Chain A
């Protein structure tokens, strides 16, 4: 057990009496040492400023980091959007007013990216919109069906829930590579198709198929997360409602339409908005899967456009990239506000 009475008291508090002692002896002593080094100066500060002001000290590291790496960038982003050139320091950048926004938004027809001054931006916007549409619909449908099934008293429920959730934890790069290999000319899918007598296809070099599989991979990646949220919502529905429906001899489809879905409604809307916010930001797995947005620009999305303008190659068009970020930020802000509003409604 632990070496000192004090340490054992602490362990007792930490683990509610059922401690896992033994191995903690060394960690304990290391922590005590760290504590001794850190505590003395902090206590000196406490004597200096008084107990009442200590919370400010505790908040300081967090607020300083937020200030430098979150709030400062937001302020700069807006400033950047109104400057041009390829300089990194904002003081060296010429002020260009609304030029960046004009470049992004001048189009003969918004439906035809080729007619726009910045055609890649509009290609990316349309690709993103199509992706968001299909991805939100497919993920929501798959997650809802899975959640409804997992809500039933079905055998091995925990196992299946865990299985569907597993991809959520994987890295987007890993997922991109695994699927790239699965869809390869010599991959498993083509081997399976050959068994059925279908000629092999290089899926990721074909516009339609590559777009289709970007959605498939995205659903595969994220559906477990949304299933979990919907499942939590389903399990919060009072069970006596279902008992009452059973007494009234309601059919299963009627129970679903009249009880389950209406009561799940607020959760569904929250998931829907959350899905839209995440889908608009598609980048990592699509970038790896499609070799940077290919074939051509068939899978070039908005975040990739921003990344390319600012960081890839020698473009360094920070102003244009920031202007595009600001536009995307506004869309996301609206979606987030909608989500907060609906989330509040769901709670009440």
Chain B
């Protein structure tokens, strides 16, 4: 009883209890409209990615993936297409043998006998719900998409791991020690927040060429590992860890690295989780930097590969949309399960 009551109370909650005024209705319209605006293009692309090649450019489009049905009919070598037709005043599904002008020769697929002649203006193709899984399997086998996928997973995983370690070490030094130049170094690191990649991309490319990492996945990974946002986030969190814990460990003759690894790092887990989520999103979605660094196809990440693919096969939307959707899946899963961490992370640090 109580559960039902609170559910109703929840759904009908308004600004002033018991009254629904105009602003409530307008608010709802805005929110529902916005939700539809977010979802419709995404869902539309998802549904389209399941359509067979012949169906995807049909206009006006059908909502669900459907395809014309073909049947094997005894006495005919090739499969015949199935149509809804009216024969002798009776609606039936007929297979088309051939088409001559406005007349079509049709047979009943179950009792193939002598073809009957039907007016083509009165017939319509039989369509069934079909999922074109080949849109997904073909690019993975025939084109390089499996390689792109592998590269993206590698870059995302390795870069995130290195980001966590390198920035946690720096944050540890900047939060738990007093040493000469500590403030200066912190300010120096944070100041790099102000320099966007778009400004330094030309010379950064030169540096990557100089260290021999051009057209190499490590050239995508290493320049982005040191992250001012990461240092800042982890340092602020480590400042809240009581120094007494560290002092106690020193009394027990623990080495400084052991203190970092065994005490500080485990206690920083929540902040590390937030940074890891962001790092995964950054790397998985990154486009401009890999586009500049990588030049040969076998090194492309998924985003660069998708872009190249849509340039070359601009008419093959069934493949493009399937691969687009595939690259959307991990991010959507992250969103569904970790949405709360991300929103608190943004509200807390203003990073993206």
Give chain A's interface residues, CB within 8 Å of chain B: 10-11, 13-15, 35, 38-39, 42-43, 46, 51-56, 58-59, 61-63, 65-66, 68-77, 80, 88, 90, 145-146, 149-150, 152-156, 160-174, 177-182, 184-188, 190-191, 194-195, 200, 220, 225, 228-229, 231-232, 252, 274, 277, 281, 283-284, 288, 291, 303, 306-307, 310-311, 318, 321-322, 325-326, 328-329, 332-333, 336
- CB pair A177 B200 closer than 8 Å: no
Query: Digit string of B32-54 for contact with A (CB within 8 Å is 1, else 0)?
Result: 00110111111011001000000
Could you tell me which residues of chain B, from 64 to 106, have a CB within 8 Å of some CB in chain A? none
Give CA–CA (A310, B201) in the complex, Å: 10
Contacts of B307 in A (CB 8 A): 173, 288
B contacts, CB < 8 Å to A: 10-15, 23-24, 27-28, 30-31, 34-35, 37-42, 44-45, 48, 57-61, 166-167, 169-170, 172-174, 177, 179, 182, 185, 188-189, 192, 194-196, 198-209, 211, 222-226, 231, 255-258, 260-263, 266-267, 269, 281, 284-285, 287-288, 292, 303, 306-307, 310-311, 317, 320-321, 324, 327-328, 331-332, 334-335, 339, 342-343, 346-347, 350, 352
Query: Chain B residue with minimal CB distance to A283?
Result: B288
List residues of chain A with CB within 8 A of the CB of B287: 171-173, 284
| Of B12, B24, B310, B352, the contact of A225 (CB 8 Å cutoff) | B352
For the complex with contacts A54-B173, A171-B285, 20 further pairs of A-B residues with Cβ separation under 8 Å are A42-B257, A43-B258, A54-B177, A55-B182, A58-B172, A59-B169, A59-B173, A62-B166, A62-B231, A69-B223, A70-B192, A77-B199, A149-B30, A163-B38, A165-B342, A167-B38, A173-B287, A174-B306, A311-B292, A329-B200
Q: Which residues of A contact B306 (CB under 8 A)?
A: 173-174, 177
CB <8 Å contact, A74 and B38: no
Q: How far is the CA of A56 from the CA of B200 in the complex (A)?
A: 27
In the complex, the chain A residue whose C-beta lies closest to that of B258 is A39
- Tell me the complex Cα distance, A154–B324, Å: 34
A58-B172, A229-B346 known; A51 vs B13 contact (CB < 8 Å): no
Is B57 touching A186 in the complex (CB atoms < 8 A)? yes
| Whole-angstrom CA separation of A316 from B228 in the bound complex | 31
A65 lies within 8 A of B166 (CB): yes
Are A303 and B198 neighbours in the complex by a CB distance under 8 Å? yes
Which 8 pairs of residues, A with B, have the shortest CB-CB distance? A14-B266, A171-B285, A55-B173, A76-B203, A65-B226, A62-B170, A73-B203, A69-B223
Once the chains bind, are A69 and B34 in contact (CB under 8 Å)? no
Looking at the complex, which one of B182, B311, B327, B352 makes contact with A168 (CB distance below 8 Å)? B352
Q: Would you give 18 A-B contacts (Cβ < 8 Å), ordered by A?
A: A13-B266, A62-B169, A69-B222, A150-B31, A154-B24, A164-B38, A171-B284, A172-B303, A173-B306, A173-B324, A178-B45, A180-B310, A181-B317, A182-B40, A182-B44, A191-B61, A274-B350, A311-B292
Return chain A residues, CB-CB under 8 Å to B255: 39, 42-43, 46
Residues of A within 8 A of B334 (CB): 169
